[in-house]
Structure 1
Amino acid sequence: MTRLADQLRTLFPGTALAALVAMAAQFLSEHYGAPAMLMAILLGIALAFLSEEPRSAPGIAFSSRMLLRIGVALLGVRISTGMVQELGLGLLGLVVGGVLATIGASVLAAWMLGRDRLFAFLSGGAVAICGASAAMAISSVLPKREESERDLIFTVVSVTMLSTLAMIAYPILAARLGFDMRQTGVFLGGTIHDVAQVVGAGYSVSEETGDLATLVKLIRVTMLAPIVLGAALIMRRHAPEEGARPPLVPGFVLGFLVLAGLNSAGLLPGWVSEGASAVSRWALLTAIAAVGMKTSLKKLLDVGGPAIALVAAQTVFIAVLLGIGVVWIG
């Protein structure tokens, strides 16, 4: 107990600071309409000097790592097999194919152009699956490099900004293309990066579109576990040393799958699912604030134009693919 108390005292200052940044970001989001994840990152970067303070550094590092895993694991309470049955095999194949094609095309393009394939996988997964949450989950199983935190922050910032623009532009685009309510819902849910922006875009069209867009988006979220698991297995296989290998199944992925299974079986009461979903959101928001506090703005600016072009190209790719798909399937 004494050792645990000492650890809590060590972690508390940094964790409390990250939580305060998360609360400030949420306040700005609720009162001014700014994306909470983006605000958490920017506020965190402004307070980056705190990660060098001995009293707060351990808690900030803990928040950026452990709270991330907790938040991703708890996302499982939002997933159920009933979603798959409701969507139908044709549209399900389109959504899953869009995710896999976007990630595959990103890595292939990086390989052909001689670019960083790990960054391409990170950004492609964020665009294809669920924005900031996917970026943080994927980053946690990739090999740790000097550029790891810089790449993560850049990916979260870029996909959040593009997702916000898509929330405004895509409903207009869908109307111009003549999509009906169902096609619009699948298009919005299958292309916009973050869940909050999908909800905003979908319900700005109609309640039916919003419901379907949210369903499609959650189907994309279910892809997070197998993608992260596959990445972990690949990284483990290619780890240079036995001691450096990551675990066969990351604990947070296992937690995600267990919670999704319990929810699918109807074993989780509504209040548990709602509570766990709220905890997940706050854990992820606090984690991304902590990651921001560990990031140097100068290093972030070193990413360069090619990385920006890659994320934009990934966004356009999945939008074109899903747009063609909903027209073809009908």
Structure 2
Amino acid sequence: MLISRQAKSLVPGLLLSGLVAAGALMLERIEVRLSGRAWLEALVLAILIGAVVRTCCGASRRAAPGIHFAAKTLLELAVALMGAAVSFKTLSSVGAPLVLAIVATVVLAIATSFLIGRAMGLPVKMATLVACGNAICGNSAIAAVAPVIAAEDEDVATAIAFTAVLGVAVVIALPILAHALGFAPAAGGALAGLTVYAVPQVLAAAAPLGRVAVQLGTLVKLVRVLMLGPVVTVLSIVMARENQRTDLARPGLSPAHLLPPFILGFLALAGLNSAGLLPSGLTARAHEVSLGLTILAMAALGLGVDLRDLRAAGPRVVFVVTASLAVLTLMAVAMVKIVNIV
């Protein structure tokens, strides 16, 4: 009976989040029909629509439990399912020097962006969200890192919103930058893979540079996305040490004490997929479900944000994200030249 009551209490919030998510998907399809591409993905639109609804209509106590459930539990499930689409074999197909360059770029970008954020007075969790989103894969990285560090809904929504805007700007500017630097198609593709946030955006940014640029850019980007697993794992351990004062050397300590269940699920599915034990149909379906749950969770995050409360944090976040992106671009250009991609 108690479970039934709890389940019923989730319905209003889940329905509201679902309506917002559906609206975001509809707008994304309209974008594609009108311009041929989605400049703002449904994941971002869901946050924006949810935030507008919350700002204009206020908070609903009846919807609060379902909104919280979607923003936390369903988001964690989505992150776990992401592992089914990850294959560690990708690392062996691009060559050791380029893999090392990708890893170095991600690590240095996270560290630099975090330091910039802290220097500008951003809270640790907000600086971490911006750093990981900038260095790895934008919205998806922010969504994956948020539950691990127990980030506030407002911080998640703010980081994703500003990262999304600059992500679109990068897609437009990158082909121009590649031509200005005199990069060959392969080098331009690698630059796109190292800097652009989302895989679809890499395709859009590399397309003007040619087929080779698209192929290499996509491959580099996929390897960069693989860094999400190790980064989230490290953050999980750091949070466990900080919040629970966990001693890694203590006897009898299991991985579950250090890593949340959804991270263990992510790593397990990634391992199974890398070993070829997951059917391609199941992998594709897991990816679809993960994307759908993420959009639903982003709608819930948006519904927890009053845009009037974001004005104070806005300018600092914009500066940090912009400066971090500029540093990432400089690092990427340097890495492309060091590896000597032609």
The TM-score normalised by the length of structure 2 is 0.88
The within-5 A match list for 1:92-103 is 92-103=99-110
Cα offset for 1:113? Answer: 5.7
Name 1:202's counterpart in structure 2.
206
Moved more, 202-211 or 250-259: 202-211
Contact 2:154-2:304 within 8 A present in 1 as well: no
Say whether 1:74 aligns with 2:84: no
The answer for the alignment partner of 1:218 in structure 2 is 222
Paired amino acid for 2:7: L
Q: Distance in 2 between matches of 1:249 and 1:208?
A: 39
Distance 1:249-1:176 versus aligned 2 partners, 3 A rule: same
- Quickly say closer, same or farther: Cα 1:204–1:27, change in 2 above 3 A: farther
8 Å Cα contact 2:81-2:286 kept in structure 1: yes
CA distance in 2, matches of 1:16, 1:215: 38
Aligned residues: 323
Q: Which residue of 1 aligns with 2:49?
A: 43
Q: Is the 8 A contact 1:48 1:296 kept in 2?
A: yes
User: Could you say what the CA RMSD is over the residues aligned between the two structures, in angstroms?
Assistant: 2.1
The amino acid that maps onto 1:210 is: V
Q: Supply the AA of the counterpart residue of 1:285.
A: I
Kindly indicate whether residue 323 of structure 2 is the aligned counterpart of residue 313 of structure 1: yes
1:124-170, Cα deviation, whole Å (9 max, x unpaired): 111001111111222212255xxx22221111001111111111110
Q: 1:159 to 1:247 in 2, by over 3 A?
A: farther
- Residue aligning to 1:122: 129
Matched to 1:194, the amino acid is A
Select the residue among 82, 89, 98 that pairs with 1:91.
98
Could you tell me which residue of structure 1 aligns to residue 284 of structure 2?
Answer: 274
**1:267 aligns to what SS in structure 2?**
coil
Shift of 1:204: 4.2
Change (3 A) 1:114 1:290: closer
Q: Which moved more, 1:109-118 or 1:206-215?
A: 109-118
Contact kept, 8 Å, 2:75 with 2:143, in 1: the verdict is yes
* 1:9 paired residue number: 8
1:237 aligns with 2:237: no
Residue of structure 1 in register with 2:147 after alignment: 140
Q: Deviations over 1:101-131 (max 9, x none)?
A: 0111123344556553332222011100111
CA contact (8 A) 1:28 1:34 kept: no
In structure 2, distance between residues paired with 1:85 and 1:251: 28
Map residues 123-202 of structure 1 onto 2, 5 A cutoff.
Answer: 123-143=130-150, 148-202=152-206
1:249-284 Cα offsets, whole Å, 9 max, x none, are 011211111111111111111111111111111111
* Runs of 5+ consecutive residues of structure 2 not aligned to the other structure: 32-37, 247-255
Q: Secondary structure at the match of 2:277?
A: coil
Partner of 1:329: 339
CA contact (8 A) 1:51 1:293 kept: no
The two structures have a TM-score, normalised by structure 1, of: 0.91
Partners of 2:307 and 2:67 in 1: how far apart? 17
Distance 1:136 1:283 in 2: 11
Structure 1, 165-174 or 205-214: larger mean CA deviation = 205-214
Contact 2:120–2:320 (CA under 8 A) maintained in structure 1: no
Matched, 1:22 2:21: yes
CA–CA distance in structure 1, aligned partners of residues 119 and 165 of structure 2: 27
Letter in 2 for 1:8: A
Q: What SS does structure 2 have at the residue aligned with 1:301? A: coil
Give the gaps of 5 or more residues in structure 1: none
* Segment of structure 1 superposing worse, 200-209 or 269-278: 200-209
Q: In 2, distance between residues paired with 1:203 and 1:111? A: 36
CA contact (8 A) 1:78 1:218 kept: no
